[in-house]
Chains A and B, each alone.
Chain A
Amino acid sequence: MAMKRRTTILVVLGLAAAFLVALWKPTVLIYGVQQAGLYAAIAIPMGLVLGIVHIVNLAHGEFMMVAAYATYFACRATGLDPLLAVLPSAAVTALLGWVVYKLTIRRALKAPELNQLILTFGIGILLSQGVNLLFTSQTRKISLEYVSASMTIGELSFGVWPFVFVIVATAMAVGLKLFLTRTTTGKAALAVGQNPRGAAIVGIDVDRTYGLVFALAMALVGGMGALFLTRSAIFPGVGGPFTMKSFCLVAMAGIGNIPGILGASLLLGLSESFLRAFRELRGWADIIFFVLIIVVILGRSLKGRKS
């Protein structure tokens, strides 16, 4: 199947890149893998929504940003660690996602794709500008000691904390796979993604399933918002690049292909980390995802022309 081949290509390319980079500069490999984990953990929920609800959620990163802000103010008020906020934050964004689905997205499901894009893009602007209005564009950060923990192997010294993103991304991929293939609710969600008409005639409530899947994806990205805050500074526009990069990764992997997202993330994370290793190329790291997506689309259209 085409999807399997693409997953294999992405994973092989990712691992090959990892190997080459490791031979050259191991720290670049480590930072690349850590960054890949962060990207994958944010992109997987977007892939879930695209695979089942068939909506590209251009407010994806903004949901994470809102979760990070909620966590920030909650932690400031209580003095608690953002790690403790991962689950509550997930619950809050799940609820927000459910409401947004019920009020807006479900009404656009049958609309042309462009309208859906405009809708979610608009929700994203509303969220980021809303936060900007309420809390200004000031950068906010919570300093945590364990985040700067580092490890030394031989002459190599690197930060350990960002590996948490790799663990979370892997757990997310495995957990979702198990949920979608082993539980009745998960199978029903998969069935809705493959054929909503067929799902309705066996008694599955398609609308409710869409709402649940959207809320679940927002819960995952909300949890990531709290986790993101442990390491990074936040500002109202912080989600934007993650929306774009998640979209790029999901497009590279193909609809509904979660392992493919892991492979694509590895490729993107390593490419960025590789470029950052050169002083004069550093600026390109932020837009390398554009290059990757252009290559993928070119490759696909060339293949399409051949067949």
Chain B
Amino acid sequence: MILDVKKLETGYGRLRVLTGVDLSVGRESVGLFGPNGAGKTTLINTIMGINKPWSGVVTFDGQDIGGKATHLVARAGIALVPQERELFPGMSVADNLELGAAYVPRAAGIGKRQLDMVLQLFPILKERYRQLVGTMSGGQQRMVAIGRALMANPLLLILDEPSLGLQPSIVAEVFERLARLKKEIAILVTEQNVRESLKAIDRGYVLENGAVALRDTAEGLAKNPHVVSAYLGI
């Protein structure tokens, strides 16, 4: 397993949000579903060291990363595409992409290769290479955020609601590109758009009230009556 989360608990102040989550990601693409407030973003932020775990273990690539500072987690090989994108708005696409690779040892010396790959995946970024990111549309910024994460040559790519605020045609496009990536990079993705994302993942978890309520393969989830009624809206 690349990422192994065991009995993870955390919260804010006295409010417990995660009540013992077990989750693992191998060389595959894993979906993380659940209603608003289930703790998906909290789980991701805790893996990433943005929130500190109260208890439990987070192992990544053989090392214990639970509670480590975010920049160290990033340097170890996890790249995050946050819900709010968290780009550098006053800097160009070029600079945003460059910074994605600059501090990650895994990306050292292969910047050019990664850049070619990203620009091939999102040709629009090539056209807008010198544009300030803050002046771009939400969809284009989402592509910059994914591109910046890929520049790090990550072992694990985490995407938090990659389709949020995107028009449906672009959502399909993003998932099609993610499906292409999953051959090389382990992916953990949270998504409101369960229908689209089931096409791009191998396995999925359903998180409810801070704990894993269900885990299954993509096909299994698509047929599960609870998933169908609660998330696919059929």
Q: A201 to B80: give the CA distance in the assembly, Å.
A: 7
A202 interface neighbour in B69, B74, B85, B90, Cβ under 8 Å: B74
B71/A194 in contact, CB under 8 A:
no
B152 interface neighbour in A188, A203, A206, Cβ under 8 Å: A203
B91 at interface (Cβ–Cβ under 8 A)? yes
B148 interface neighbour in A200, A202, A204, A205, Cβ under 8 Å: A202
A187 interface neighbour in B75, B80, B91, Cβ under 8 Å: B91
B43 at interface (Cβ–Cβ under 8 A)? no
A200/B88 in contact, CB under 8 A:
no
A204 interface neighbour in B79, B80, B85, B103, Cβ under 8 Å: B103
Nearest A residue to B103, CB-CB: A203
Inter-chain contacts of B74 with A (CB < 8 A): 200-203
B48 at interface (Cβ–Cβ under 8 A)? yes
B86 at interface (Cβ–Cβ under 8 A)? yes
Inter-chain contacts of A122 with B (CB < 8 A): none
A184/B86 in contact, CB under 8 A:
no
A198/B91 in contact, CB under 8 A:
no
Q: A203-B71, A205-B71 are in contact. Are A188 and B91 (CB under 8 A)?
A: no
Which residues 80-113 in B have Cβ within 8 Å of A in the complex?
Answer: 80, 82, 85-91, 95, 98-100, 102-104
B71/A204 in contact, CB under 8 A:
yes
Inter-chain contacts of A172 with B (CB < 8 A): none
Q: A191 to B104: give the CA distance in the assembly, Å.
A: 16
B152/A191 in contact, CB under 8 A:
no
A190/B50 in contact, CB under 8 A:
no
Inter-chain contacts of B100 with A (CB < 8 A): 202
- Interface size range of chain A in the complex: 10 to 19
Nearest A residue to B106, CB-CB: A203
B91/A203 in contact, CB under 8 A:
no
Nearest A residue to B145, CB-CB: A198
Inter-chain contacts of A190 with B (CB < 8 A): 88, 90-91
A201/B86 in contact, CB under 8 A:
yes
A201/B82 in contact, CB under 8 A:
yes
B24 at interface (Cβ–Cβ under 8 A)? no
A195/B87 in contact, CB under 8 A:
yes
Q: A187-B98, A201-B74, A202-B100 are in contact. Are A194 and B80 (CB under 8 A)?
A: no
Q: Mark A178-194, 1 if CB is under 8 A from B, else 0.
A: 00000010011011001
CB distance from B44 to the nearest CB of A (A): 11
A194/B82 in contact, CB under 8 A:
no
Residue from B50, B74, B88 whose CB has the most chain A CB atoms within 10 Å: B88
Q: A197-B50, A198-B88, A202-B152 are in contact. Are A188 and B71 (CB under 8 A)?
A: no
B70 at interface (Cβ–Cβ under 8 A)? yes
Which residues 3-58 in A have Cβ within 8 Å of B in the complex?
Answer: none
Chain A interface, DSSP helix/strand/loop, else mixed: helix
Q: A201-B80, A202-B99 are in contact. Are A194 and B75 (CB under 8 A)?
A: no
B89/A188 in contact, CB under 8 A:
no
Q: A277 to B215: give the CA distance in the assembly, Å.
A: 81
CB distance from A198 to the nearest CB of B (A): 3
A188/B102 in contact, CB under 8 A:
yes
B102/A184 in contact, CB under 8 A:
yes
Which residues 45-82 in B have Cβ within 8 Å of A in the complex?
Answer: 48, 50, 69-71, 74-75, 79-80, 82
Q: A202-B104, A204-B71 are in contact. Are A195 and B86 (CB under 8 A)?
A: yes
Which residues 195-240 in A have Cβ within 8 Å of B in the complex?
Answer: 195, 197-206
A191/B91 in contact, CB under 8 A:
yes
Inter-chain contacts of B148 with A (CB < 8 A): 202
Known pairs A194-B88, A201-B48 / 20 extra A-B pairs, C-beta < 8 Å: A184-B98, A187-B98, A187-B102, A188-B102, A191-B91, A195-B87, A198-B87, A201-B71, A201-B74, A201-B80, A201-B82, A202-B74, A202-B100, A202-B102, A202-B103, A202-B104, A204-B99, A204-B102, A205-B71, A206-B71
Binding site for B on A (CB under 8 A): 184, 187-188, 190-191, 194-195, 197-206
The 9 closest A-B pairs by CB, nearest first: A198-B86, A203-B103, A203-B74, A200-B70, A203-B75, A191-B88, A194-B88, A201-B80, A205-B71
Binding site for A on B (CB under 8 A): 48, 50, 69-71, 74-75, 79-80, 82, 85-91, 95, 98-100, 102-104, 148, 152
16 CB contacts below 8 A, A to B, read A187-B91, A188-B103, A190-B88, A191-B88, A194-B88, A195-B87, A198-B82, A198-B85, A198-B88, A199-B88, A200-B70, A201-B50, A201-B70, A201-B79, A202-B99, A205-B71
